[in-house]
Structure 1
Amino acid sequence: MNKKKTIIIVAGICAIVLIAAVAAVFIVNISKSAGADGDISVEDDSSSGKNETGADGDEDEGTVGDNEGAADSALSGSGGIGAEGGAAQQGEEKFFPYTIDGTALVVQNISSYDGIFLEDGSDGQVTGVAAMVVENTGDTNVEYAAITINCNGEILEFDASDIPAGATIVVQGKNKTAYQSGTYADCSAVVAEMGEFEMSADQVKVEETENGSLLVTNLTDEEIPCVRIFYKFYMEDEEAYVGGITYTAKLTGLSAGGSQTVSPSHYAAGSSRVMMVRTYDSAE
């Protein structure tokens, strides 16, 4: 992605932040090895959930890889895989873009990231963390992907969940691993695929309200003990997700034909996308 494209991304996300009037702003700075910088503003609404029916409010969690959970924007850089310097301990050198053997995942880039760390839900500030841009070029959704790559003899790990077919996602390095330029090799992935993302459309309806909350309505004539809503940050204009993590909002005791409103702490009105909706027979 060239510098002009990066500027468009920055402007687009800044506009989203202004329109949403969010409580916090994520400033993401991707430093390219060639010297150009790209920054992205993402927001996290930390308002508490309020229940219209008087039951318990929402519980917002962030998870990766267990399908009880797992954000986007496309970033670019000319450094990373195939950059000069360093030598991998083993394997053949990899270059952008690189299709991971046995998968439909294509690594577009690895760059340095400064800003909010999303992957563990802590939202702490980090500097110089490795960030990978990955595209799912297949026609099947990816439920979970654990990607490893060797850089100068050090293994970098990237975990992501709920990657739709054809989607692009930016994933920050697991354990906040520092970015380094050099020779990349031995890229592999453990991937779990799935069919359609479950939406439970015959049981519940989920709508975004004017104030950015989610209105959940029970379409059945029986109480639903528990509903979990899985969502990711998404940048519409660039058609990309930010963060390997998928966030989860939970509500309990959804009465027959009733509704509850939840305000998940990481949900950004107009800038998040509901990935899955699941119902459970137990409130646990």
Structure 2
Amino acid sequence: MNKKKIGIIAVVCIAAIGIGFYINKSKKEEARNKVKEDYNLSEEEMNKLTDEEVDKLTNNKTKVESKEVKKPTKDSAEVDKIAGFNYEDEKKVGGLKLPYKVEKTDLVIENIGQYTGQFIEDGSDKPVANVLSLLVKNNSDKVVQYGEINIKVNGNKNAVFKVTNLPPKTSTLVMESTGKIEFNKDDKYKYVDSIQAKLNNMSLMKDKVQITKQEDGVIGIKNVSGKDLGTVYVYYKYFQEGGAYLGGITYRVKFENVKAGASVEEKTSHFSKNSSEILMVDAF
């Protein structure tokens, strides 16, 4: 092969590498722009995300969508349909035999895996990737008002999972409470401790309060009690496809000085009419 042909081949190879690099860079920029738009992030927040995290958020994300999905009911969880959750389809994960009955509680760990999507346990909705998460079921006939599961990871990390207002026989995908502990299939888990408080039921107090509006970002109520109410709290949870609630967190909206017969509204950025369920009302 003469020098001229070698030169031509070298130029073509360099050009191909350059084109490939440009295409790859364009795809990365496109993915970053999509994540930025989907999660409404600032440039500073985007700069903190690695390319790997962006890739996970692009291809395996959970957002609170506007499309209507079915609310969780007794035994309705379908783990393979829960968006954003990748789990180990094994009878034993990290040394814990599944399903794992949590001591001193009515909670059962059905699956262990990683969650990628919006982190809602602190109300921030920030994008996260590969957060250690548990699919937890309330296996009793009462409401688990508050539950806490403490697990040691590899003997040196404390992972805390908090569950609130979980109806009987329903499941929720609970993320590690700080969002900083990742899932690794080679990690070892050891149960440490747990807490539980239960309620017989959750009331909507229909004799005092009527829910008049459920729209994205807004909840409306009417005082039908016949007397002034000092404070009204409305509690709700997220849910998604897969028949389970999303997160251990329960959101609360506060209405103050609700006069007899009055209809009032409050803005709440987390409420979605198609993927939030009002579970309880407290009025006094």
TM over 0.5: yes
Instruction: Tell me how far apart the structure 1 counterparts of residues 276 and 87 of structure 2 sit (CA, whole Å).
Output: 25
Mark the CA change 1:250 to 1:43 in structure 2 (over 3 Å): closer, same or farther: farther
Show the counterpart of 1:201: 206
Show the counterpart of 1:63: none
Show the counterpart of 1:145: 147
Instruction: Tell me how far apart the structure 2 counterparts of residues 244 and 222 of structure 1 sit (CA, whole Å).
Output: 34
Show the counterpart of 2:69: none
Correspondence for 2:64 among 17, 28, 42:
42
Deviation at 1:276, TM superposition (A): 1.1
| Residues matched between the structures, number | 212
Superposed CA deviations along residues 130-181 of structure 1, whole A, max 9, x for unmatched, are 1111011111110001101222113211011111111100111012222233
Superposed CA deviations along residues 103-146 of structure 1, whole A, max 9, x for unmatched, are 22110122122222111112222222211110111111100011
Larger of the two Rg values belongs to structure: 2
Deviation at 1:81, TM superposition (A): 8.1
Structure 2 counterpart of 1:230, one-letter code: Y
Task: Describe how 1:223-242 pairs up with structure 2 within 5 A.
Answer: 223-235=228-240, 238-242=242-246
Structure 1 counterpart of 2:110, one-letter code: Q
Correspondence for 2:164 among 158, 161, 164:
161
Instruction: Tell me how far apart the structure 1 counterparts of residues 188 and 129 of structure 2 sit (CA, whole Å).
Output: 21
The normalised TM-score by structure 1 is 0.66
Q: Does 1:249 align with 2:253?
A: yes
Structure 2 counterpart of 1:263, one-letter code: K
Instruction: Tell me how far apart the structure 2 counterparts of residues 278 and 106 of structure 1 sit (CA, whole Å).
Output: 28
RMSD: 2.8
Equivalent pair of 1:113/1:130 in contact (CA under 8 Å): yes
Which structure has more RCO (C-alpha within 8 Å, separation ≥ 6)?
A: 1
Mark the CA change 1:242 to 1:168 in structure 2 (over 3 Å): closer, same or farther: same
Q: Does 1:172 align with 2:175?
A: yes
- Structure 1, unmatched stretches of 5+, are 1-22, 32-36, 45-72, 85-92
Show the counterpart of 1:82: 92
Mark the CA change 1:210 to 1:133 in structure 2 (over 3 Å): closer, same or farther: closer
Instruction: Tell me how far apart the structure 2 counterparts of residues 124 and 211 of structure 1 sit (CA, whole Å).
Output: 19
Deviation at 1:78, TM superposition (A): 1.3
Structure 1 counterpart of 2:270, one-letter code: H
Structure 2 counterpart of 1:157, one-letter code: V
Show the counterpart of 2:45: none
Instruction: Tell me how far apart the structure 2 counterparts of residues 156 and 132 of structure 1 sit (CA, whole Å).
Output: 11
Superposed CA deviations along residues 84-118 of structure 1, whole A, max 9, x for unmatched, are 7xxxxxxxx31222111232211012212222211
Task: Describe how 1:67-146 pairs up with structure 2 within 5 A.
Answer: 75-78=85-88, 82-83=92-93, 93-146=95-148
Structure 1 counterpart of 2:97, one-letter code: F
What percent of counterpart residues are identical?
28
Instruction: Tell me how far apart the structure 2 counterparts of residues 248 and 241 of structure 1 sit (CA, whole Å).
Output: 16
Correspondence for 2:266 among 246, 262, 266:
262
Instruction: Tell me how far apart the structure 2 counterparts of residues 80 and 259 of structure 1 sit (CA, whole Å).
Output: 51
Q: Does 1:221 align with 2:231?
A: no
Superposed CA deviations along residues 12-44 of structure 1, whole A, max 9, x for unmatched, are xxxxxxxxxxx9669xxxx9xxxxx86433249
Mark the CA change 1:264 to 1:211 in structure 2 (over 3 Å): closer, same or farther: closer
More helix by share: 2
Instruction: Tell me how far apart the structure 2 counterparts of residues 207 and 173 of structure 1 sit (CA, whole Å).
Output: 35
